[in-house]
Amino acid sequence: MKLFTKTLLLILFVILFQGIFTVSVISKLVNNYNQEDLNLDLQSESDLLFNSFNSWKHGMWRFLIRIKDNESIRDLLDQNLKLAQEELSIILDSSGMDFLYVRNDKKSFLLNLGRNLSFPELSNFFITKEYPYIEIREVNGSLYFVGNLRIYGRDRFEYDFFLVKKIDAEFSQQLVYQTQSDLLYYSNEQYYNGSIDSKIIEKKLPHINLLTATKQFESLDMDETLKSLVFRKGGQLIKDGDISDFVLITVLSQLPYIKRSLDINGTVLFVSLLSILIAAVLSFIISSSITTPIKRVIANMQRVREDDFPVSIEYNAKSEINQLYEGFNSMAYNLYNGKIAMEDYVKEIEFLKDYNETIIHSIRAGIAIIDSNLKVVKVNDFFQNFMALSNGDIQEVNFIDEQIILNVNLVLSKRKDSFTCVKRVGSSLILDVKIYPLVINKFDIDAEHQCILIIEDITSKHQFEEKIMQAEKLSSLSMLSAGVAHEINNPLSTIMINVQNELAKETDSSKFESLKWIEQETRRIAIIVNELLSFASSRSVENEYCDVNTVIDQTISLIQYSIAKEKDIRFHSKVNKIGLGSKISKDELKQILINLFSNSIRSIGKKGHITIHTGYKSENENIYIEIIDTGCGMEEQLLNKIFNPFFTTDHEGSGTGLGLSVVYGIVNKYNGTIEVSSKPGQGSTFLVILPADFKE
């Protein structure tokens, strides 16, 4: 049975191979013959069109010679111009030309010889040679045959003859009449319409370099049809005084040759398929008696493939087929038991995998696996959303610098066990970066080296720690300031009283001036002491409703009145029309605004603007006050220091450096926040956020 089956399969294979080989060989021969026929026809068509094109030039030459040799025309040109026109019309009646233009210094006339066409611009025609000659000219985008002739009348006047034939679609259709091809024209990287539109070739061959008299393209897809082309020089084209080669393009469709090849191949293929079909029918008839058992096995194998267990084939007598059934049943039984065990293992593995994936993606830190090519192999959700990787290259992350790349390479090459650093990105983002080696299989020394990059956003943690340090610093400093202020106040009062007494009775002008300086500086010390006391004060928070917009208007009026004579600073209040309230003392809110306004005024100088915005943030039930000035601004490294006590950028000595510290302390006391942004030369923006309160 096995040998018989193999024999049948071999017969089918031989017949199939014979059919494929026959189709392949015949197709190749047919294609070669077709290509040879195509090349011959293409060359023949090109020669025919070339000769037809030149025959027009020869015909135009002959008519020029007839005019030149006609003595009566010379006489009529001098004596009777109308009769000369009639004589020329008779000579050129059957010439096929379009125009005849005759001129000299005194007179000219134009004969329309055939088609009713508009004559080109007359200034484009001139004669450069004394003997008759033919030119191809482009005028206003159109092509023309121009026959040039100069003759002399009896009175020796010059007469210039221009015999014109337009090279257009109608002319080209006459050339390709009773041929299989089409005609186009080309010169100086520009195509011209012939019997077909030149656009179908411009897209495929924008320009050509014709080094020889002819050039052939065997196959070009034009207008969804394969074409063969021959480029052949047909003279020279004159355009705006420039001379370039004029090329005739013969276009021959390959469609008839392809159809002939397909017909022959189809016939051969049909005969081959018919032979294969007859052999297959005979093979089926012979083998049908032994295919039933095989079909039973195949059907049950399909059940195994579809996991339709348990599977078993029933059999009775002992035979080769039954031995096959027995072996199949044993295999199916083992597969069934193995499938059950494998499903249990897969469920456990999937559970562990999903569990680990959930843990990794739930971590609020970026985790990425990096290979030896610095490509990201795998990331968790936080890393993907936070870093927004596009091409998987770790070097595209903006904070990844040479130091981190160097340490990634060191960890990948096992020259370093780990790496940790804190990176500041921009002015607000602080990241904790850690790099550890990833051990996939410690027993496989050839395994690819990878590492784990962990990135944690510790900005909030850092800001919280800074706030705690700032609060502790202010708390300690406020206690010290209170003690120092009280100790200084008593002797300061004594000094002030004595200085004022001395001033009242001093008559010496120089001593009086010195005492005035002592009084002025003593008053300045008193101001600093009062600010220290204000900074150290810790009044309890009163639960009173404060109308923020009203306090802002009052403070602006107060400040504007105090600076009206010295500075030209305009206040622009753009407050929220809805009433905004907060549980803060009105005096403390006014103190916050005065300090912030004073800081902006010192930054602006003589002239500028201060803009105040207020609003309500519903998501966290806060109100905000935004103060924007047009002052000199600050460097970025100063922004973290401006709330420190005694820190000031005023070099004239008018500031104590306590104003913004007082603001920070009051805002912090009411569980609010204050933020600042500034750039040198662009002013500063202070944003105060306080808990909102609604009037009952």
Give the domain CATH number at 469.
1.10.287
437 and 504 together in one domain = no
pLDDT value of position 688 = 92
Tokens of 289: 């008696």
Asked whether 686 and 675 are in contact (CB, 8 A), the reply is: yes
Most confident of 381-395, 419-433, 665-679: 665-679
pLDDT value, residue 73: 84
CB-CB contact of 147 with 61 (8 Å) = yes
- What tokens appear for 649 in the block? 């950028």
Predicted confidence at residue 540, as pLDDT, reads 47
In this predicted structure, the answer to whether residue 4 has a pLDDT above a threshold of 60 is no
CATH value at residue 396: 3.30.450.20
- pLDDT confidence bin for 644, thresholds 50/70/90: confident
Using only the alpha carbons of the chain, give its radius of gyration: 51
Q: Does 394 have pLDDT greater than 70? A: no
Whether pLDDT at 61 is above 60: yes
Q: Is residue 162 part of a domain?
A: yes
484 pLDDT tier (thresholds 50, 70, 90): low
Residue 593 CA, chain-centre distance (Å), reads 48
Phi and psi dihedrals of 52, rounded to 5? -65, -40
Residue 611 confidence (pLDDT) = 93
Residues 6 or more apart in contact with residue 143 via CB below 8 angstroms: 136, 137, 166, 167, 168, 185, 192, 237
Q: Per the domain annotation, does 231 fall within a domain?
A: no
Amino acid identity, position 381: D
pLDDT at 427: 64
Predicted pLDDT of residue 680:
87
State the Cα–Cα distance between residues 667 and 673, nearest whole angstrom: 6
| 446 plus 569 within the same structural domain | no
The answer to whether position 403 is within a domain reads yes
DSSP state of 693: -
**What pLDDT, on the 0 to 100 scale, is given for residue 3?**
47
CB 385 within 8 A of CB 368: no
Q: Measuring CA to CA, how many Å separate 326 from each of 206, 316, 585, 653?
A: 73, 11, 96, 106
Q: Could you tell me if 545 and 686 lie in one domain?
A: yes
- pLDDT level of residue 582 (50, 70, 90 thresholds): confident
Residue in 668, 264, 298, 330 with CA at minimum distance from that of residue 475: 668
Q: What is the mean pLDDT of residues 587-609?
A: 86
Q: Report the SS3 class of residue 585.
A: coil
Q: How many other C-beta atoms can be found within 10 angstroms of the C-beta atom of residue 421?
A: 12
The percentage of residues in the chain with a pLDDT greater than 90, rounded to a whole number, is 5
Q: How confident is the model at residue 235 (pLDDT cuts 50, 70, 90)?
A: confident
**Domain region containing 87:** 70-167
In this structure, the answer to whether residues 590 and 563 fall within a common structural domain is yes
pLDDT of residue 148: 92
In the prediction, which pLDDT does 136 show? 92
Q: Say whether pLDDT at 95 is over 80.
A: yes
- 523 and 554 share a domain? no
- List C-alpha distances in Å: 334 to 293, 304, 311, 329, 330: 22, 11, 11, 9, 6
Residue 654 has pLDDT above 60, yes or no: no
Q: What is the mean pLDDT of residues 23-48?
A: 82
Express each pLDDT in 448-464 by its tens digit. Answer: 788 988 888 887 777 66
Q: Which of 109, 66, 60 is nearest to 85 (CA)?
A: 109
Checking phi first, is residue 588 left (phi over 0); if not, alpha (psi -120 to 50) or beta?
alpha
User: 637 or 38: which carries more pLDDT confidence?
Assistant: 38
516 or 54: which leads in pLDDT: 54
- Pair 559, 679 in one domain: yes
Write the CATH number for 653: 3.30.565.10
**Residues linked to residue 424 through DSSP beta bridges, in sequence order:** 430
- If you count them, how many residues does the chain have? 696
More confident residue, 6 or 132: 132
- 103 lies in a domain? yes
Considering the domain architecture, whether residues 647 and 683 belong to the same structural domain is answered as yes
Of 271-275, 482-486, 495-499, the poorest mean pLDDT is in 482-486
N- to C-terminal Cα distance for the chain?
A: 102
Q: Quick check: 590 and 598 in contact, CB under 8 A?
A: no
Position 468 confidence tier, pLDDT thresholds 50, 70, 90: low
pLDDT of 414 > 90? The answer is no
pLDDT of 581 strictly over 70 = yes
Evaluate whether residue 326 is within a structural domain. no
The answer to the question of residue 142 being in a domain is yes
pLDDT tens digits for 599-630?
Answer: 888 888 888 899 999 988 877 788 899 999 99
Q: Which of 167, 193, 225 is the last residue of a domain?
A: 167
**477 in the same domain as 401:** no
Query: Total domain count for the chain?
Result: 4
Q: Which of 114, 133, 167 is the last residue of a domain?
A: 167
Is there a single domain that holds both residue 388 and residue 487? Answer: no
* pLDDT > 60? residue 433: yes
Do 87 and 157 belong to one domain? yes
Assess whether 401 and 524 both reside in one domain.
no
Is 314 strand, coil or helix?
coil
C-alpha 542/C-alpha 222 separation (Å) is 89
Between 460 and 365, the more confident residue is 365
Average pLDDT over residues 242-269: 84
> Range with the lowest mean pLDDT among 66-80, 322-336, 640-654?
640-654
Omega prior to 310 cis, within 30 of 0: yes
In a domain, 575, yes or no: yes
Strands 99-103 and 108-112: antiparallel
In this structure, are residues 478 and 536 in contact, taking their beta carbons and an 8 Å threshold?
yes
Q: Tell me what pLDDT residue 685 has.
A: 92
The per-residue pLDDT of the chain, averaged, comes to 79
Say which range, 8-12, 184-188, 294-298, 614-618, has the weakest mean pLDDT.
Answer: 8-12
Residue 134: predicted pLDDT:
92
Q: Does residue 667 contact residue 603 with C-beta atoms inside 8 Å?
A: no
341-348 long-range contacts (CB < 8 A, ≥24 apart) are none
Nearby residues of 504 by Cβ (< 8 Å), 6 or more positions away: none
- Domain assignment present for residue 256? The answer is no
| Structure-token match 């002399």, residue found | 152
pLDDT digits (tens, 9 = 90+) for 270-325: 877 787 778 777 766 666 656 677 777 777 777 777 777 777 777 676 666 777 77
Q: Percent of the chain beyond pLDDT 70? A: 83
Q: Which of 395, 423, 457 is the last residue of a domain?
A: 457
Same domain, 687 and 591: yes
Residue 685 is encoded by which pair of tokens?
């923006």
Please say whether the dihedral angle defined by the alpha carbons of residues 57, 62, 65 and 71, taken in this order, is positive or negative: negative
- Quickly count: other Cβ atoms within 10 Å of residue 362's Cβ: 10
